[in-house]
Amino acid sequence: PPRYSEFVNKTAELDILEQWGDHVLPKIEDSGRWENIPICKPSIMTYGKEHDSLKRRENKSHRLISCVWASSGYSTRGERFGIHDGHRRLREWLHYVFLTGFDHVYVYDNSGGNSNKTSLKVVTDDFKGKVTRLVWPSKVCNNNRNFADSPGERSSQYAAESSCRLRFGPHAEWIGQFDVDEYLAPMGDYATVPKLLDQLDKEGKKIISFGSWRAWPRKQLIEEPIPINNRSICESTRTCFQLKVPENNTMLQTYNCDRQKGLKKDKMPAEKQLYRSDYVKLHFVHYSTVTNLTLMNKQETIDFGQK
């Protein structure tokens, strides 16, 4: 029965046939995404005594962790381009996040979802004690273009994010959910991210959102572009080209050509967040969809001081 007594109406019971028809589970041909339901052993059985308790505790192992779903290579939506620089991107990104104050990173290695020939182990092994690699070969249900009848999605990523929060969140105060092409830059009085968290804790904040904006590469730092004349790949009215960053330049160094001058007024719809692991109960890529507050009923919310 519902937990909230104010919603209980004994005279109006749920009619399954009226609401759902003659079946509840999806039909066989529509049930592909069930394959990505993660079934995991308890953390201690896999990762040892570092993660030996899922109970809340005041002295947690980490102040700030990050969960990242990554792969050594993948295909863009619609299978238009093959991206094969995952090792390089992850290595550069890991160096950066540790410089800005992250304690530990959990890498959900999705390389096996694309090929069994490579993995990210060669990178994560260089960060012993700082990075935990989890083999995560779950495939996305489809990789269609965004405007297709069945648009591509990232079900493997969604499951990985939930797995990381549930398994490792209890050992950390804060979690940051980012991709390897996303860099959180401390600014102003905050030289590192933990300095910002100190201020957020003083203010009693549980979630902070950051607007994002895609930077362009600096032309002088990339190799000579190679035009793409295949119209099935390049659907733009402008010329498309293959872009490659030389090994002696980093991705962050190259992609710092800002399209907005001065203080940014515009941002992308895909924001990013840092959130307290004991407050957020479900996080979905860009948003904290379920929190301790949203789980309260009306009276509990009033008693908590909210209206």
Which carries the bigger pLDDT value, residue 24 or residue 83? 83
Predicted confidence band at 192 (pLDDT cuts at 50, 70, 90)?
very high
User: Got the DSSP string for the chain?
Assistant: --S-GGG--TTS---HHHHHTT-SSPPGGG-GGGGG------HHHHHGGGG---S--SS-SEEEEEEEEE-S-EE-GGG--EE--HHHHHHHHHHHHHHTT--EEEEEE-GGGT-SS--SHHHHGGGTTTEEEEE--PPPS----TTSSS----HHHHHHHHHHHHHHGGGEEEEEE--TT------TT-SSHHHHHHHHHHHT--EEEEEE-PPBPPGGGSPPPEEE--TTT--SSSPEEE----TTS-HHHHS-B-SS-SS----EEEEEEEEETTTEEEEETTEEEEETTTTS-HHHHHHTT--
pLDDT in tens, 95-142: 999 999 999 999 999 999 888 889 999 999 999 999 999 999 988 878
In this prediction the pTM is 0.78
pLDDT in tens, 13-25: 667 677 667 765 6
